[in-house]
Amino acid sequence: MQKVESYVVGIDLGGTKIAAALFDSKGTVLKRELMETAGARTAKEVVQRMIDMIRSVSEGRPLTGVGLASPGAVNSQDGIVIHGTNLPEWDNVPLKHWMELELGVEVKVVNDANAAAWGEYVRGAGKGADNMVYVTFSTGIGAGIVIDGKLLLGKNSFAGELGHNIIDPNGTECSCGRFGCWEVFASGTAIRDMALRSMESRPSMITELANINGEKITSRHVFEAMALNDPVAVEVIDRSIHYMALGLANAVHTFNPDRIVIGGGVSKAGDLLFPALVEKTELFVMDPYKGTFTIEPAALKDDVGLIGAAALFHTT
């Protein structure tokens, strides 16, 4: 008897764009669509837009389920977006309930960092690991944890907010309103800000590198200048890696992972980042943890949220 193919739609709901794709059970994208979120301001309007996209990409095929990655605080047990970052007017939106009523198939909702972590675990750089810590260094720091092959959610699905672990209470103010969180020391934004502060008193080629294409300075330019032995950039990256490693070492002690997967813009720095990050993290962990984990760059690119959302149903 021929096996019936199982189709899943993955959705990545962003503040500016909604991406939807139809996946087969091997994780292959069969059809995809991208729409602006703007124009649909209320939650009901956004949900209607997503339902239209699901119907369009699935082209009448029966679905096993719909996996949805949402920004902000998400209660995955009940499928409720409690507070949507970058989605104004989103407060306690029962996404799962609304969409299941309309579609008649199971809908699973996770926050975008957890979706990305799950995507890397099932289909990317976390494949084959049993315990994985996923950390994305970009505007902020996002994280998702897989323990014994399961996504760690916690009571309200808020587990794994490593970016807001306070590593120095005397540090600067964080977007969360508290002081000295890991992300004010080690995110891409933190690297840029540290470089800008250093450049107030010392010249650096970071400015020229950004000016070549008329870009605003980002952490990427700091890494580029570091590759050219710019003293300011070398110092800033060295300090940033110190802080990145410090937070990763805390995660190693907390979760005892066999693999750490690094995503986000900063992870594109490749050899300018990884060897030093591994060395420093090993230095910061207690003896029994040394040599028990690897640190790898993420394998999936912009589709990681979509892939992870769909993989909530297709786990092999």
Name the site residues for Zn ion (rule: CB under 5 A): 164, 174, 176, 181
> Cβ 188 to Zn ion, closest distance in Å?
15
- Candidates 251, 306, 274; CA nearest to 21 is 306
Spatial neighbors of 181 by CB under 8 A, at least 6 apart, are 163, 164, 165, 166, 167, 171, 174
- Select 176 or 283, whichever has its Cβ closest to Zn ion: 176
Closest CA to 133 of 301, 290, 298, 309: 298
Q: 101 or 176, CB closer to Zn ion?
A: 176
Rounded Cα distance between 195 and 266, Å, is: 14
Q: What φ, ψ does residue 197 adopt, rounded to 5°?
A: -65, -45
- Nearest distance from C-beta of residue 174 to Zn ion, angstroms: 3
Closest separation between CB of residue 292 and Zn ion, Å?
A: 28
Q: Which is nearer to Zn ion, 183 or 224 (CB)?
A: 183
Query: From edge to edge, which strands make up the β-sheet containing 80-83?
Result: 73-75, 80-83, 91-93
Rounded to a whole number of angstroms, the minimum distance from the CB of residue 247 to Zn ion is 12
Q: In angstroms, what is the minimal distance from the CB of 85 to Zn ion?
A: 13
* Pairing, β 63-70 against β 132-137: unpaired
- Closer CB to Zn ion, residue 104 or residue 177? 177
> What's the rounded Cα separation, in Å, for the pair 161 and 306?
21
- In the complex with Zn ion, the residue whose CB is nearer, 171 or 231, is 171
